[in-house]
Structure 1
Amino acid sequence: MSETKITVIYDNPLSPEEFEASYPEQQLDVARSFPGHIRLEASKVWPKEDGSPTPAYRMIDLYYPDYASASEAVTSPEAGRFFEAMGRLSTGGVRVLFSDIEVPQA
């Protein structure tokens, strides 16, 4: 059975400073507390060299052993706190994806 990845893609916030002030505690720390994940990655999109807006701002990837585990994790109290804060902080928009890992990390 293949791994499943939950990806949260934060689009460019209206105020990056306000987003960054809350992101570590209200998003990253809470994501770390999601039950059952086997790996977490957090990333920030490099700015474009010409100064134009990037297609996204930040991402969090949570890896699970299977789809059932990922689905169960998003019903946890930790996920409830995460998604509530995500709605408030994501002033530029946000996308959440469940993906099947086709080529696992070696």
Structure 2
Amino acid sequence: MIKLTVLYGHPEDPAAFEKHFDERHIPLVEKMPNLRRFEKALVVATPDGSPPPYYRVVELYFDSEEELQASMATPEGRAPGEDVPNYATGGATVLIAALD
């Protein structure tokens, strides 16, 4: 299984981020071909009590790297990534990992 993780930096306007994220972005993610599971989390703390370096974490799961690549080759698979600049004023870091 392959996991695509998006680490969102702190947005300039959290309320605007959340509105766009919930109303526009998540529906795009849910239309991605081959997507097996989608999880989102709001970062609330760090182990040492320092300010969290990220605002939100999103994880998308696919059966394989080939399934992820096939998804990303479609308009529906590219749409979420193309939407990120519309609301992620704190930036976004994307990682792809193989679960073992």
The alignment's TM-score, normalised by the length of structure 2, stands at 0.86
Residue matched to 1:18 = 16
Aligned residues between the structures? 100
Shift of 1:81: 2.1
Partners in 2 of 1:78 and 1:72 — Cα distance?
A: 11
Q: Cα RMSD between the aligned structures?
A: 2.1
Secondary structure of 1:78 counterpart:
helix
Selected match of 1:65 from 33, 45, 63: 63
> Percent identity between the aligned chains?
30
Name the CA distance, whole Å, in 1 between partners of 2:87 and 2:50: 22
Letter in 2 for 1:45: V
Deviations for 1:50-87, whole angstroms, at most 9, x for unmatched residues? x9642111122111111100111122212332112102
Pick aligned residue for 1:94 from 78, 92, 95: 92
Runs (4+) off by over 6 Å = none
| Paired residues of 1:4 and 1:63 also in contact (CA < 8 A) | yes
Structure 1 spans left out of the alignment, 5+ residues: none
SS class of match (1:72): helix
Give unpaired runs (5+ residues) of structure 2.
none
